Structure 1
Amino acid sequence: MNDKELDTAFQKAVDSINEHTEPFPADVLLRLYAYYKRATSDTDSARSSKPLISAFKTNALFQTQGMTTREAKLKYIEAVNTYFLYRK
């Protein structure tokens, strides 16, 4: 998959998550959060008004430390596809 195809597939996965109206399990949300932040190089906003949520977000980001943008996009797409596959 070239970079343009990856970007298209990533955006499609992001859109499918944003359009989904049912609640997500917390572990899925945290994984998607961390992959998205790594994929978009936006890792500065793990803050929340609730310290426990901030800690979970920070931990999720820590677990993706060293992951490239490309790897994070691929992992995000994989996680989205897996989530929707098992919901059927």
Structure 2
Amino acid sequence: MSDKDLETRFEEAVELANDMSQESLPQDVQLRLYALYKQSTHGTITNRIYPVYDLRNAFKMNAWMQISHLSEDECKELYIEAILSIAKKK
């Protein structure tokens, strides 16, 4: 286990993710990462704030809604684990 706090590890994972190519990831993985990031940084989604005008955004909002029961800290941990797992495979 790392001595770094959760926020520091999350920020490092976000930086690592920013250096990755999205095209190399399956769409379900991209959606999962999107949802975890949004739940980590914005909390639970509300439809009033995020209207859906196209299919792409509908999938993104659906992915976010599916994990809305998780806390921001839980999502940060899951996001970190996912990014590190992807980085190890490359």
Same fold (TM over 0.5): yes
Contact 1:46 1:57 in 2 (8 A): no
Alignment of 1:9-20 (within 5 A): 9-20=9-20
Deviation at 1:61, TM superposition (A): 0.7
Deviation at 1:65, TM superposition (A): 1.4
Percent identical pairs in the alignment equals: 38
Matched to 1:5, the amino acid is D
Secondary structure of the 1:30 match is: helix
Contact 2:41 2:72 in 1 (8 A): yes
The two structures have a TM-score, normalised by structure 1, of 0.79
Question: How many correspondences in the alignment?
Answer: 85
Q: Deviations over 1:18-71 (max 9, x none)?
A: 12246232112111100010101254675676x211121111011111110100
Q: CA RMSD in A?
A: 2.4
Contact 2:40 2:72 in 1 (8 A): yes
Gaps of 5+ in 1: none
2: CA distance between counterparts of 1:32 and 1:25? 11
Contact 1:35 1:73 in 2 (8 A): yes
Gaps of 5+ in 2: none
Match of 2:74 in 1: 71
- C-alpha change, 1:29 and 1:48, in structure 2 (3 Å) is farther
2: CA distance between counterparts of 1:70 and 1:33? 15
Structure 1 segments of 4 or more deviating over 3 A?
42-49
